[in-house]
Every structure is written in C-alpha cells, then in structure tokens.
Structure 1
C-alpha cells in the first residue's frame, strides 16, 4: 500500500496506474544485465590502455601480404600462416594498415565486437521458453567468460584477437544456424570460420551431431562430415609442411595438453590445476553428449539441447587439435591467453547444458551458481592479465627501434625489418604523424636538437637523494638494448631520450617500467622508476636524458670505485 492524504491506496491500484511496458520489466533481470556489462567495460578500458603499436604476427603478416609501396598482394592473402588458413585476419590486418594507420586499438576494438557477437549468439542459442531471469543470468555469465581477464591478450594485442576471435564467432554462429535447422547457412558460417583459422575444422563433426540430435534426415547429418573431410584433405594437400608427430609422447600427454587448454580459465599460472579442472569440464561435456545420444536413440531431444551438445563437441575437438599441435612441437601444457576462448566456450556449454537439463531448479539457485562460477573465472584470470600487461612495456622501445631503423633490436623484439618499406609507405604507426617519444612538449622528438644548457645532471644512486638514476646495461651504444632507472623528486620520469654528440635526439623508448628493487634499495614508494631505450645504429657518443615535469636530466652509469 502507498500513503495518501488521509489514508492508503492499495498497491494493486498503483500497479494498474503504471504503464504496461513498465510492469512487464523484470527488474532482477535488469540488475543482472547491468552486472554482465562490467567485464565489457573492463575490456574497453583494457583496449584504451594498451599500446598504440601492433604486436608480433601483425608485422610478419603485413610484410608478406604487401609490396614495398604498401599495395596488397592478393595471392598472399590466401597463403597459410604457421600452417593455418588465416585469410580473414590477414585481410583485416591490411585494411587496418591501409585505412586506420595500423592501430592496435582498432583491432582490439574489432576483437571486442566479435566477442560481443559471440555473447549474442550464445544468448540466441538459449530457448525463449527459458525463464527470463535464468536466461539473463546465463547471458551475463557468457559475458564474464568471453570477456574474461584470462583473454586479456586477445583484446590488448589486437593482432592476437583478430587471429583467433573471428573463427570462434563464425563457428558458434554455424552451431546456432544448425540448431535452428538452417543447413546451408550453417555450412557457409563454418567455411567462414575455416578461412579464419585452422582450429575451426573442428566445427564440422559438431554440426553433424546437432543435425543428428535434432532428428534431421540422414543427408543433413552426412553433409557436414563430407564437407569437413574435403576441407581437411584440401588443407593437407596444400599445406607446405606436413603435420609433425609427437615423438615419444604418450596418450596421457595428449590428454593433459587438451585438458589444460579447456581448464586454463581457472588457472593463470599453475598447469596442474588447469589440467584437473579442464579434465572435469571435459568429462562433463562428454557425459552430456553421451546421455543426449542415448536419449536421441530412445525418442528425440529438444533443439536447444542439440545445439549446446554440438558446442561441447566442437570445443572438445578444438582443444584436442591444439593439444596435438603443441605435443607435435614438444611443448607442454599451455596457459597462453590466445586459447582463453576455448576454455570460455567450454564453461559456457557446460553451464547451459546443466541449466537446460534440470529445468526444475529454482531461479534463485541457478542465478547464484551461474554468476558465481562466471565471476570466479573472471577473477582467476588476473594472473594471465598481469603477464600480458608486462609485454606492453616492450612496445615503446619497439616503436623507436622501427623509427630509427635498428635491425638488431627489431630482431630481438621480433619485428621483421622487411616490413619497414611497406610500413613507411602506408604511414603505419610508428611512421604516422601521431608518433611521439612521450615528453609532452615540442622540440623533444626524434631529430630535434636539445640545448645542453637545459640538461641537468642526476646524482649517482644513494638513499635520501631526490634526483638519482643509473644506466644498468653498461655503455650506451646504438642498436642495442639500454636499460636503467631514474627518480626526480623521488618520482618516476615521464620519458627517456637518447642524444648523440651533437645533442640531437637519435633514440628513445619507454619510461614507467616497474622496478620494485629500486624502491626497496632507496627506501622510496615509487615502484615504476625503470626505463628502456634504443638509439639509431652508429649514433656517435650517445647518452641518456630523461624528462620529468618539463625538465631534462642526464643519466650516467655508475662506475666501480678503486
């Protein structure tokens, strides 16, 4: 009841006065949906805070698919990369270079769009008859899993996300279309997944399972198997290098690598935990598929269950492919962030199958369990996120190495020098107008000359001094790693420059590198006093200068006494 002048009005009258659309809103679902947006927001912030410069494979692929003048080599798009048909990612890489200036942020954002598409498809795979709160809770869980911190590599390194996420999107789209009885469109989506990455070959037996569980005609069941076989045979006939064998590895090695891939969502750094939890997840998916097969033989099952069973088989097969490939290379259980979506989709399939299998479980219990599992998986990936963010620090020095043409440093940082002509022709970052050494003021970029009178000297390291620093890597020389640290007023510096004998800026790098050892040794709170830099090859008498709050300081190397 509600209070009025002189009395109370029954609640039923208030409800009747409210608009119909407002009365139909499920407010618990709204709150759960808002909760499900949190990992998406976290991903947006991660992409915004990631480096501008691209990573690793982007440069190798760009070098292969472009001429020195930056024009596309069409036939190179359809060549394999590391034995995978990454035709869609290669094209997206070139489009990014041609029209977006080679932006890691742009590819990270596109990865997030594909991820959001996956969450939407997973939502559409749930039956509309499912209670709205349960459906919203599962969708929020899907968002936490797909946008997990374990997948930070996918979003922070756009090239990694675009190399992997499109195949997952097209594969789950194929499963949705098969679930809804659209065989032609499901085959088209499956083929789109296959030209995005080789792991998508695993989707064809999954599609056959979906059509079988739906009770479709035999030809619908056989066609995915036939098309999948043609795709695999075609790949085997055209791949440059035949798949390797695992040598002396035994069956338990392969199973451990497969289970570790499925279970890495729950363990950022401990392979044993990933193997155990991945094994349990895989066992749950296998049990669900077997039980559904028995039920199908006994009479038939609902289409939604068929689709999620197909999802389970697809993930099991994809994880097995990854396990076999790693075993062939002699590599152990992997917790690499690029495999995070395998683990995410495995957990999503198991959650959906459990909820659909036991419809009588209360809404409150389903919501609590589903959201708790998703949140734990999100938090558990923090360690993997930290590993990826440490890699970000190398990008500043990689950008400078490319700008000054330092081949040894580019090789160490795995950026091929062969890409430089095309990158310059396309104006790809760091060859774009927005490249900067990060000092925040004009006249402190590559090629500028610095007035030596503006440069102060930093003291040698000693506790209690406000302005100190050191070059730890020894004598400063061109085309070689330069590592050191500096504190100005006991705070980290803003930028690092390399000056030659004529006081011209011939190099730079990145500041703000974590150096907890310096804070401990000098009894200061600052933990990010480190810097890394590189100078142009052949730079004469190069020396390090750091910028802090508008002032410049020369950093020398401490020499041994006596």
Structure 2
C-alpha cells in the first residue's frame, strides 16, 4: 500500500510534463535505415525482373536501329548514329545498342539492368533536392516507389524500351537537380546528354530557365537556357524527317490529345481503364496548379526544382499528346502504355514533395501514412499492367529462332529486320552465339531425332505453313503442363526449327482441357515438316 506523504514533504508534481520515452519518439519517426530498406524494395524487384528478363532482344526498334548503324561485317557506321529514330535524336541509345552487341553478346539483360541502375541514379538526383525535413527519408522512399512502379515493367523486361526512355529522363532529373542548386554548367551538360538520348529531353532547357527564374537568378542565367531551348527545338524541327513517323493520328482532335495528357499524368492509378487515369491526371494537375500558385508568387528556394520537375512532366505529357496520340493501343489511350508511366511518376513525385513542404503543420505520422499508402496502392494497381506486358512479350520469344534459322516470313510477321542478321552474326551477338538454345534440354538445331519414338498427344496445328519460314501455331496438352519446347524437323528427323509453348490460348479455342498454345518456325527443308513437343526427355508428335 502506498504511504501518504508526510506533512511538509513535497509529493509528486502531477502537473509537470512527463518526458517522452525513447520508444515513443521512435514510433513517431521510423528509423532512417527502415526507410532506406523500404525504398530499396521496389528497386530490388525491378532489378530481379531485369536479371531474369529474356536474353533475346525481341522489339523491332532494336533491330531497326541495329541494322541502320552497322554494316554486314558488324562495323559501326558512326554517321548513322546521328540520324533520327522515330523522328527523334537517338545517339546514346544507338551507341548502347551497338556496345551491347559488340561487347556483351547482344544480351538484352545487360540493357535492362542498366535501365534499372539509371533509374536509381534519377532517384538519388531527386533526393538531393529534398531540404532538411523530418520527412526527407519518407519522401525518398516515395520517389523510389513511384519511379520503380510495377506499371513501368516493360522498361526492365526489354532493354530497347528502357534505353530509349530512361537515359533521357535520368539526364533531365540530374539537370533539374543541378539547376535547383544554381549549378547552371552541370545542368546544361546533363541537358545536352539528355538531348542526345531521346526527344523526351528536348523541353528540359525551358524547365531550366523556369527553375532559374524561381530562384531569382540573373536575367542572363534565365535567358541562356531559354535561348538554348529555342535553338535546340528549331534545329530539331528543321532537320527531322517529314511526315508522321510513329503511326500517330494527324487529325486536329483536341479532345483525344487532352485525354492523352491527363491519362499520362494519372497513369499510376489505372492499369487499363483510360477514364480512371484521365480523372486521376486531371486531379493531379489541379493540385499541382494550386501548389505552384504559391511557388510562383512567393518563390521559396526549396520549391524551385520540384516546380521544374512538375513542368517537365507536363511537357512530356504534352509531347505524347502531340506526337503519339492514337486509338490503336490497349485501353485506347497511349498514355496508359507502360513506359510512359514515368510521366505520372515525375508529376506525382513533384506533387507529393510540394504538398509536404507547403504543409509543415501536418503531423509526421500523416506523411508516413500517405507515403506508404501511395507506394503500395499504385504498385498494386500496376500489377495488372505488368502481367499484360509479360503476356504481350511472350509470343515475341520466337524471334530468336526466326533469326537463327533465317525464316523470312516469320521475321516479317515479328517485325524483325532481316538485314540485321549479318552484322549480328559477325559480332557473335545472340542468337548467333553459343548461348543460343531451343530450350529442349537436349535436341538443338541440326540435331537428329528418331521420329519413330515420338508418342501421340492431344494437340493440333492450326494450319499448315503458308510459306517457307512462316510461323506455325497450334495447341498441345502434355501431362497438364506446358512442354519444354517445340521442335520442327524435316522428314528425316533433322531439327530445322523450333518454338515456344505455354502461350495463352486464343479466345474461342476448341483446345482440350489443360492445353496451351504454341508457335514455331523453321528454316528451309525438303519435304513437309514434322512438329514435335519435347517434354521431360520425351517427344510427342503434334498433328
């Protein structure tokens, strides 16, 4: 039992504030190491996907550029490097494509990993613009989750897309970060590199002028990047190829172009429903407008770079609307394409940071909750887009076999430049390297198999080959699992081609239960082809 205080003895002062315990302080702010681990998680997932990506470059842009910048002996044609691709500068990506083929065996994974590393550089560059703030580590995590969003999966599944976009965007992020610190020379150097990467960097000069104006710098330091922007855009306009190079509509279509702008800005909030992305993009732009009103009038130094980043994101969205608007894409809105989600990532990053800086009275726990929710929800939404990207790339895996056996009809159907094959063969680039395999765990091109050992199986050919080297398709059901690979042989049993299985069945298919679709191609042969499914060391005759 507690004894009462003696007369004249002071009792406890119940009005004195109780010191906050260390545990309570830790609960109010997550340790920095926890935030860094949280920030590293999406980058780690992207890096894992990049390492596990296919070895083969399957996109037409890679082979078109590679064929243009090389001769048949694999020598680099430097003059061609400085020509336009899709009516835009493409110097740095062209050199990286060639370096990959000449030094790394044409391995797609080299470029996918490089794309992830360059995006990490962009995150670090943007972090340098964050002021000393209790939420700095939390905001760094937000930047990482937004830029490494699952929406952007195609950037680290096919290096062609990553190297087309990421070097330009990273260069612009570095340029904005330098301008935020008043380092005009560094900003200009990064902007020059960006403009040699892709057209996505062309507006950066006006962004640098805007940041310099917000910082209250001299008229000369504002005018120089603005003048450079006029010169760069003028030179591009006068030298770019005439006509539309991307298949985009040339119609006036202000409504369609506005929907592309808003969908690109709101792309983090929808995987395939354009109207959701449009609404989210409109809200993002409205909130940025409210925040930037104070930035423009008060010009706080801490806001300059983030306002510039918001302007750059809007400029990218406008460029997409002007040069890429078309309804011939999944979802009907080009702003939903996986690689263009970087626009939404940059705009949402700027919005998140500006909102935090403009509302210092917000409790830290509110910022933490907002960052975690933003990160996890947008990443979860992007899962559907990531799955769709993987499904769309799966049929393109046939490109390696088509190039290796020189199947002209298949290459034309896959939009692979046949003219690139001699240079790739001369350089020993995949699929003309020892790393090439049909994936059958045994038979390879030129091998002989005993056709009499092939067992019957539930399966079918959709149609006989329409032309030499054409793509043959069908379905097969082997033990309820996809076969290891598809083989194509001549009547004597010599393997002349192959293909892939485990593809989704087309809608309305009459395939048996447990079946998967397959496709294959082969080189020239005497006589009708035989198609086999190889699985677990056994051969099954299809059709």
Tell me if structure 2 keeps the 8 A contact 1:46–1:156.
yes
Matches within 5 A, 1:123-162: 123-127=127-131, 129-131=132-134, 134-162=135-163
Match of 2:6 in 1: none
Q: Evaluate the alpha carbon distance shift between residue 39 and residue 516 of structure 1 in structure 2; reply closer, same or farther with a 3 A threshold.
A: farther
The aligned residue for residue 493 of structure 1 is 483
Aligned pair partner of 1:545 in 529, 532, 539: 532
Q: Distance in 1 between matches of 2:391 and 2:158?
A: 12
Q: Pick which of 498-507 and 378-387 moved more.
A: 378-387
Distance 1:183 1:434, change over 3 A: same
2:116 matched to which residue of 1? 112
Once the two structures are TM-superposed, the CA of residue 231 in structure 1 deviates from its matched residue by 0.5
- Structure 2 CA distance for aligned equivalents of residues 327 and 317 of structure 1: 15
- Write out aligned runs for 1:268-287 (5 A): 268-287=271-290
Q: C-alpha separation between the residues in 2 aligned to 1:248 and 1:92?
A: 35
Cα distance in 2 for partners of 1:330, 1:451 equals 46
How far, CA to CA, are the matches of 1:518 and 1:292 in structure 2? Answer: 56
**Equivalent residue number for residue 369 of structure 2:** 368
In structure 2, what is the Cα distance between the partners aligned to 1:78 and 1:359? 48
Distance 1:339 1:519 in 2: 33
Residue of structure 2 equivalent to 1:203: 204
Equivalent residue in structure 2 for 1:267, among 243, 266, 270: 270
- Between the aligned partners of 2:362 and 2:285, the Cα distance in structure 1 is 23
CA 1:247 to 1:93, structure 2 compared with 1: closer, same or farther past 3 Å? Answer: closer
User: Is residue 167 of structure 2 the alignment partner of residue 166 of structure 1?
Assistant: yes
Tell me: CA distance 1:366–1:520, structure 2 relative to 1, closer, same or farther (3 Å): farther
1:328 positional shift: 8.5
Q: Is the 8 A contact 2:410 2:471 kept in 1?
A: yes
Shift of 1:485: 2.3
Q: C-alpha root-mean-square deviation of aligned residues, in Å?
A: 2.5
Cα distance between partner residues in 2 of 1:521 and 1:453:
25
Deviations 1:6-45 (A, max 9, x none): xxxxxx9xx9xxxxxxx9xx75332232222221222122
Q: Give the aligned length.
A: 514
Which digits, 9 at most, give the CA deviation of each residue in 1:471-492, with x for residues without a partner? 2234686412211222233322
Which residue of the other structure, out of 477, 481, 492, is the alignment partner of 2:471? 481
Q: Paired residue for 1:41? A: 44
The corresponding residue for 1:69 is 73
Q: Which residue of 1 aligns with 2:178?
A: 177
2:320 to 309, 319, 322: 322
Structure 1: runs of 5+ lacking an equivalent: 1-11, 16-22, 459-467, 557-562
For residues 522-533 of structure 1, what are the structure 2 equivalents within 5 Å? 522-523=512-513, 526=514, 529-533=516-520
Q: Where does structure 2 lack aligned partners over 5 or more consecutive residues?
A: 1-18
What is the CA–CA distance in structure 2 between the aligned matches of 1:353 and 1:432, rounded to whole Å? 51
Distance 1:536 1:175, change over 3 A: same
Structure-1 separation of matches of 2:436 and 2:361: 59
Other-structure match for 1:398: 399
Q: Does the aligned pair in 2 maintain the 1:289–1:312 contact within 8 Å?
A: no
On the 8 A contact 2:490/2:525 being kept in 1, the answer is no
State the match for 2:5 in structure 1: none
SS in 2 for 1:195: helix
2:495 to 494, 505, 508: 505
Aligned position for 2:444:
445
**8 Å Cα contact 1:64/1:76 also seen in 2:** yes
Tell me, in whole angstroms, the C-alpha distance in 2 between the residues paired with 1:425 and 1:478: 25
Separation in structure 2 between the aligned mates of residue 456 and residue 140 of structure 1, nearest angstrom: 55
Give 1:82 deviation, angstroms. Answer: 0.8
How big is the shift at 1:287?
A: 2.8
Q: Which residue of 2 aligns with 1:313?
A: 311
Q: How far apart, in 2, do the equivalents of 1:424 and 1:40 lie? A: 34
Matched-pair contact (CA < 8 Å) for 2:468–2:523: yes
Aligned residues of 1:476 and 1:542 also touching (Cα < 8 A): no
Determine the structure 1 residue equivalent to 2:56: 53
Structure 1 residues 247 and 160: alpha-carbon distance in aligned structure 2, compared to 1, 3 A threshold: closer
| SS of aligned partner of 2:487 | strand
For 2:333, the equivalent position in structure 1 comes to 333
In structure 2, the partner of 1:3 is none
> How many angstroms apart in 1 are the aligned matches of 2:489 and 2:510?
30
How far residue 161 of structure 1 moved from its aligned partner, in angstroms, is 0.3
The answer (yes or no) to whether the contact 2:169–2:200 under 8 Å persists in 1 is: no
Matched, 1:425 2:426: yes
Deviates more, 1:531-540 or 1:118-127: 531-540
Instruction: Give the TM-score, by structure 2 length.
Output: 0.90
Q: 1:380: which partner in 2?
A: 381
Counterpart CA distance in 1 for 2:354 and 2:257 is 26
- Residue 291 of structure 2 corresponds to which residue in structure 1? 288
How far apart in 2 are the matches of 1:96 and 1:154?
16
Q: By how many angstroms is 1:242 displaced?
A: 5.7
The aligned runs of 1:350-369 (5 Å cut-off) are 350-369=351-370
Q: For the structure 1 residues 84 and 262, does the alpha-carbon distance in structure 2 shift closer, same or farther, using more than 3 Å as the test? A: same
CA 1:421–1:248 in 2, change beyond 3 Å: closer, same or farther? closer
